[in-house]
Amino acid sequence: MLRGHVNASPSPLVLHVIHHLVIGGMENGLVNLVNTMPESRYRHAIACIEDYSTFRDRIRRPEVQVFALHRSRIGVWRLRRELYALCRRLRPTIVHSRNMSGLDALVPAMLAGVPHRLHGEHGWDVTDLRGERRKPALVRRVYSPFVSQYVTVSRNLAEYLERRVGVAPSRIAHICNGVDTSRFAPVRDGRERGSLPPAFRDENFVVVGTVGRIQRVKDQMTLLRAFAMAREAQPALRDRMRLAVVGDGPLLVEVRALAASLGIAGETWLPGALDNVPEILRAFDLFVLPSLNEGISNTILEALACGVPVVATRVGGNPELVDDHVTGRLVESGDLAALAQTITEYASDGALRRQHGEAARQAAVQQFSLTKMVERYQALYDHLARGTPFLS
């Protein structure tokens, strides 16, 4: 006689394919998805085209396996064989690849018998910021027949797939990133300055800040120049304005040198990468993202959730997140004068900062919550597994 109960069939497995599992917006979104989706609905594994860092320790589900394939060391053909073998061994129901390097998983997955192949586009390559290069579009077009369904984090990226790659709109789902609105939340009164250096904690200061990797696409140098210009334009505000640029990257040394040459080194904090981002954001009076292009910026979402008004460039998915003149402002990329003027307006008007900050928090909770994002991905996986259309 059998005792106890018979275990139910395991939930379907999703094999996520990502370039590196390291600190970053797309990677953070993947970790949030894995941690938040109910275990009873889907299991997860992650294949890294290259490698992973200690960032994998943020995955809270101990059964999630992470594989490093080291393409740059083993070559692309061996990588494809490894992906085929991995799919044969794990037998995923869905392979969910992301961005250009994830395309290498599609043919091995198909040959291994994976029934559903979902490909996500999350942003722009640093060498193709406007999506204008012919070769990346052609490569995506070649791989298109092996994709069961596309998903993009912004409508801007969906339009790129339609216009440049030739993907039918019916094959593209749009799911915006989500933010943990309990972890990223404002303090009840004022700003929480304790995470800033002592010289930046005065409650009368206006702290302008940004968080992100220090690289060309993020264009922090334009922010430094605009901040210096704003101080010169408003002598009455000069002693009250402070700038925080948080993050690490290949241009950090150059950005520090620029701060010194502009005469704002004493008013600028450049600490490198920090791991207390919610506390840092709660210390800002204004968040600025001067990027040359974006997919969907997690740092914008995090700033909105912390009740901080956002100034961002009118590129990529930014206009989908920032409601101009409601939760912040949109300026043209590279328009130094407009960015300086907008910073000045916010620095001069505490009531405007409070009004837009409250609207920012409301938008994050109602439109961009992590719960909504996970629900939509779960629904997309469900539709794929059933073979039914997903309506964005």
Q: Per-residue confidence at 2, pLDDT binned at 50, 70, 90?
A: very low
Cα 381 to Cα 148, 177, 371: the distances in Å are 11, 16, 15
d(CA 231, CA 351): 20
State the CB neighbour count (10 A cutoff) for residue 168.
10
The amino acid at residue 46 is I
For β-strands 43-48 and 65-68, DSSP reports them as: parallel
pLDDT at 3 (0 to 100): 39
Return mean pLDDT, the chain. 93
The residue-averaged pLDDT of 237-242 equals 93
Q: What is the pLDDT of residues 74-132, one digit of tens each?
A: 999 999 999 999 999 999 999 999 999 999 999 999 999 999 999 999 988 777 777 78
The residue-averaged pLDDT of 385-390 equals 84
Please, what are the domains in the chain?
A: 13-178+370-386 (3.40.50.2000), 198-367 (3.40.50.2000)
Q: Which residues of 229-245 are buried (b: 16+ CB within 10 A; e: fewer)?
A: bbbeebeeeeebbbbbb
The whole-model pTM stands at: 0.88
CA atoms within 13 A on the CB side of 363: 23
CA atoms within 13 A on the CB side of 359: 17
Strand extents, DSSP E, 49-100: 65-68, 94-98
Q: Which of 136, 90, 84 is nearest to 110 (CA)?
A: 84
Q: What is the pLDDT of residues 266-316, one digit of tens each?
A: 999 999 999 899 999 999 999 999 999 998 999 999 999 999 999 999 999
Element (H, E) at 151: strand 149-152
Q: Which of 367, 276, 362 is nearest to 327 (CA)?
A: 362
Contact 120, 98 (CB under 8 A): yes
Contact 171, 149 (CB under 8 A): yes
End-to-end Cα distance, the chain: 50
The residue-averaged pLDDT of 146-168 equals 95
Q: Which residues of 123-147 are buried (b: 16+ CB within 10 A; e: fewer)?
A: bbeeeebebeeeebbeebeebbebb
d(CA 177, CA 156): 14
pLDDT at 259 (0 to 100): 98
Contact 224, 245 (CB under 8 A): yes
171 alpha-carbon distance from chain centroid: 23
